[in-house]
Structure 1
């Protein structure tokens, strides 16, 4: 399980309406927003996971005590469960597998979806719900 926790700055704005913007010096270029504070925190998790997806290593967590926060800023720690996020946002890919012919015939006769069965078996083997 890969849980990451990053500090995020959520800033409240009242210029073109009322909204919140989330950024993190830990993740350069990460910016998202929401209509409410909770929305901004929710979308910050999604933005962090999106930006870290496929990376072999993750940015080291900075100590936010050195960050210069303004009066409209709040520091929030965002937990990202990358395994859950990747599972939720995973696309299906085509894989070719090899099975004994008799099993293929029997599965077809019994209307067993081999792709679905393989997915279930892999999830069980990997301990994924």
Structure 2
């Protein structure tokens, strides 16, 4: 059975060598490794790493019981929740975010003011469209 919300224990390893950061691995998902500068960042990166590793898998590995995992002093167990449905929605949005060329017409005075202020009209139009479509 495929679940949308998955919870996996992972191992956070804290390092203070070339700076302060955390790596994340999981015995549940072979080859999964990621990192972040903070625990919060590492947890977010772990969600994406797990989802990426599970993308397209016919079934998801059953979470292991981490109580018997041998840990070093700089390691800790953290449970990470992965919402696969949300991850797939975000992946689809990202894949469809390719830009297309679109000609728009604006009054000349607005065009002149935008040029004077070095405004990115495409960015402003994109943000306005996103705002309008979210309100619909």
When normalised by structure 2's length, the TM-score is 0.65
Distance in 1, Cα, partners of 2:56 & 2:62: 16
SS at 1:4's partner residue? strand
Unaligned runs of 5+ in 2: 97-136
Stretches of 4+ aligned residues off by more than 6 angstroms:
none
Q: CA deviation at 1:22?
A: 0.5
Decide which of 24, 28, 31 is 1:29's aligned counterpart.
Answer: 31
SS at 1:46's partner residue? helix
Q: CA deviation at 1:15?
A: 1.1
Q: How does 1:38-57 map to 2 (within 5 A)?
A: 38-57=40-59
Q: Paired residue for 1:59?
A: 61
Structure 2 residue 91 is the aligned partner of structure 1 residue 89: yes
Decide which of 57, 70, 73 is 1:71's aligned counterpart.
Answer: 73
Distance in 2, Cα, partners of 1:88 & 1:72: 33
SS at 2:72's partner residue? coil
Q: CA deviation at 1:60?
A: 1.2
Q: Paired residue for 2:13?
A: 11
Distance in 1, Cα, partners of 2:58 & 2:85: 14
Unaligned runs of 5+ in 1: 93-129
Deviations 1:30-89 (A, max 9, x none): 000000111111100000000001111011111101100111111110000000000001
Decide which of 4, 20, 23 is 2:22's aligned counterpart.
Answer: 20
